[in-house]
Amino acid sequence: MKEKKDIKFLVVDDSSTMRRIVKASLAKFGYTNTEEAADGLEGVEKAKSCAFDCILTDWNMPNADGITMTRQIRALPGCEKVPVVMVTTEQTKEDVINALKQGVNAYIVKPFTPQTLCEKIDGVLAKNQNP
Amino acid sequence: MPENQGFFEDDLAILQEFVEESNESLDSIESQFVALEKNPDDKDLINAIFRPIHSIKGNSAFLGLMNVRVLAHEMESVLDAVRKNVMEPDEKVVSLLLEGIDFLKAMLLRIQKQEPEIEDKAVFENLVKKIKAVNPDAKEDAGAMPAGTIISAEDFAEAKPEEQTKEAQAKPKPDAQPGRTVRIKESQILEVQTLVGELDGLHKQLADISEQVAKNPADAKTKLDGVCGTFKSILGTIDEQFVTMQKVAIRELLQRVPRIARETCAQTGKPVQMHVKGEGVLVPRSLVESLEAPLMHMIRNAIDHGVETPQDRRKAGKTEQGNVWVEVSETDSQIVVRIADDGAGIDFKSLLVKAMKQGLVTNARSLTPKDITNLIFLPGLSSAKNVSDLSGRGVGMDVVKHNVEDAGGAVDVSSKAGKGTEFLLRFPKE
């Protein structure tokens, strides 16, 4: 099992403020290895060149939204199982079901506390380790 | 209060990022609203406007900015209704949303100064009410987040605007850093860092020379001269880097042009096509500030006085829609701003008569054509026949000239009867 600081995250959000908030939340709990992407397209590009342990993404973004990006990343060789956590304000029942159907592993509604985010991530990572 | 509300409100770096990002995105969508009015069905355009408002709403909750959140939420709902074709983005709706943007900006400014988000609660509530009123989709509980998150129920807490506001406002933010912040590319910082590294190298050389100086003064001098030369060139490069860092794209200013034009067109009833060019030109930040008031004034002038009424244009054999150009360009040494219209041109005769009446000119015969043109820059003179609310009170062009000259620039005007008027503002680059 990797140490927390070696677990590599990709944070995808078109808002630079939100990327900072997510990164600060992760760092609070020892997850310091993060990369950023400003939209789904950049997210896919980054995923091509690097193996991430977990991807945190917004839903509504320009160029490619979080769902489209998840689908494209999952189609990449080696990325079929990478855990994707959706961090978003979209929160109707339909939204959540839709996202989970499209292969998102967990769903977190903004605003969240760093603790909630990290607990969710711990859960997703543990599940990925021992499916 | 749920603990997750405003969890990051004491994180000044995030607060600062929020203010900057929000301001930037609000600036950029202002001009898109004007485009939306013309192309109400352009989904990409609506989405481009929707997204930043959506982000502001989402981010504000983390920072305990509940009033920002409430207003952004109402604006987002209206945009969502437009997106779903429930309502048309007509003039009234667009004007209201632009008012919302102005209010958000005012709040951001106050937040940056560590002041409470809103000054006058009644004004704020009135605006929220007005926005809600135009929205056929508005829900009674708008402003509070709808419950209904199934999976992440534990992540979700009901927003409590009132309570939160008081608390957020009462709490002083430690280590405040008011004042302006500047965005700098990482590559530029790295370049300066490299240069500092070179200076460090020079420091080592100097230490060596210092040791040798007693032994071999002549050799030390030669070496010192060499170090001096390198030092000077590095210093020059660092200085250049700092000048570049303080430059911004004039886009910041030009993206406000469509909105000013739209308002003026609405007030005067003149259809005018704006032609804006040169958004990418980099200028010193100080120039953006000193250019703002004169530029906006001259655009209003060009539409209000330069361009004729549609009837007059038709009579003159022109298209009913007038044209106004706002172009920024650069030469080796200058930034040039051109504001031109294809209107009737300045009525020099009536300008001269007015100047004589006011005793500003005594001997008209002694004036060259250029002198007459320059009369428009005299305080208290305006060639406008009707003094309107927009311009033409004679407080305009003299102030423009003054502002431009204060910034080290110069104004030139040329005008042809029936063809139009052109103003050229030239500023030194450095």
Query: Can you tell me the distance from the alpha carbon of B64 to that of B18, in angstroms, rounded to the nearest whole number?
Result: 12
The reply to whether residue A110 touches residue B61, judged by beta carbons under 8 angstroms, is: yes
- Average pLDDT of chain B to the nearest whole number: 80
Residues A81-111: pLDDT tens digits?
A: 899 999 988 777 778 888 888 888 988 888 8
The reply to whether residue A109 touches residue B152, judged by beta carbons under 8 angstroms, is: yes
- Please report the pLDDT score of residue B171 as a whole number: 36
Which has the higher per-residue pLDDT, B350 or B162? Answer: B350
DSSP tally for chain A: helices H, then strands E: 5, 5
What phi and psi, each to the nearest 5 degrees, are found at residue A34?
-130, 145
Contact list in A for residue B57 (CB cut-off 8 A) is 89
Range in A122-131, B129-138, B265-274 with the lowest mean pLDDT: A122-131
B67 neighbors B57 (Cβ within 8 angstroms): no
The reply to whether residue A91 touches residue B148, judged by beta carbons under 8 angstroms, is: yes
Residues B206-238: pLDDT tens digits?
A: 888 888 888 888 888 888 888 888 888 888 888
- Average pLDDT of chain A to the nearest whole number: 89
Query: Can you tell me the distance from the alpha carbon of B126 to that of A82, in angstroms, rounded to the nearest whole number?
Result: 48
The reply to whether residue B11 touches residue A100, judged by beta carbons under 8 angstroms, is: no
CA angle centred on B124, ends B300 and B17, rounded to 5°: 80
Considering only residues 5 to 64 of chain A, which have any Cβ-Cβ distance to chain B shorter than 8 Å? 14-18, 20-21, 24, 60-62
Which has the higher per-residue pLDDT, B183 or A46? Answer: A46
Residues B7-25: pLDDT tens digits?
A: 676 688 889 899 999 999 9
Strands (E), B331-405: 334-341
pLDDT band at B276 (very low <50, low <70, confident <90, very high): very high
- Checking if the pLDDT of B179 tops 80, the result is no
The reply to whether residue B3 touches residue A116, judged by beta carbons under 8 angstroms, is: no
The burial class, CB within 10 Å (0-12 / 13-18 / 19+), for B153 is exposed
Peptide bond preceding A111 in cis form (omega within 30 of 0) = yes
Query: Can you tell me the distance from the alpha carbon of A103 to that of A70, in angstroms, rounded to the nearest whole number?
Result: 7
- Please report the pLDDT score of residue B37 as a whole number: 81
- Checking if the pLDDT of A30 tops 60, the result is yes
Mean predicted confidence (pLDDT) in A56-76: 92
- Please report the pLDDT score of residue B190 as a whole number: 85
Going by C-alpha positions, the residue among B24, B47, B34, B51 that lies closest to residue B93 is B34
Contact list in A for residue B155 (CB cut-off 8 A) is 108-109, 112, 116, 120
Specify the pTM.
Answer: 0.59
Q: Which residue has the tokens 């929160």?
A: A91
Query: Can you tell me the distance from the alpha carbon of A44 to that of A46, in angstroms, rounded to the nearest whole number?
Result: 5
Q: How far is Cα of residue B200 from the mean position of the Cα atoms in its chain?
A: 40
- Please report the pLDDT score of residue B387 as a whole number: 40
- Checking if the pLDDT of B309 tops 90, the result is yes
Calculate how close chain A gets to B89, using CA atoms only, in Å: 21
Residues B348-400: pLDDT tens digits?
A: 888 888 888 877 777 777 888 788 888 888 776 654 544 444 444 444 787 78
- Please report the pLDDT score of residue B159 as a whole number: 30
Which has the higher per-residue pLDDT, B140 or B333? Answer: B333
Question: Residues of chain B with pLDDT > 70: what percent?
Answer: 84
- Checking if the pLDDT of B94 tops 50, the result is yes
Query: Can you tell me the distance from the alpha carbon of A48 to that of A42, in angstroms, rounded to the nearest whole number?
Result: 10
Question: Residues of chain B with pLDDT > 90: what percent?
Answer: 29
3-state secondary structure B208-271: HHHHHCCCCHHHHHHHHHHHHHHHHHHHHHHHHHHHHHCEEECHHHHCCHHHHHHHHHHHHCCC
Query: Can you tell me the distance from the alpha carbon of B264 to that of B266, in angstroms, rounded to the nearest whole number?
Result: 5
- Checking if the pLDDT of A65 tops 80, the result is yes
Among B14, B22, B146, beta carbon nearest to A21 = B14
Query: Can you tell me the distance from the alpha carbon of B31 to that of B14, in angstroms, rounded to the nearest whole number?
Result: 27
Residues B26-58: pLDDT tens digits?
A: 988 888 888 888 888 888 888 889 989 999 998
- Checking if the pLDDT of B160 tops 60, the result is no
Dihedral, CA of residue B367, residue B370, residue B373 and residue B374, to nearest 10: -90
- Checking if the pLDDT of A57 tops 90, the result is yes
Contact list in A for residue B157 (CB cut-off 8 A) is 111
- Please report the pLDDT score of residue B180 as a whole number: 59
- Contact A101/B at CB under 8 A: no
Residues A35-45: pLDDT tens digits?
A: 999 999 999 99
- Please report the pLDDT score of residue B328 as a whole number: 95
Residues B97-135: pLDDT tens digits?
A: 999 999 999 999 999 888 889 888 889 999 999 999 888
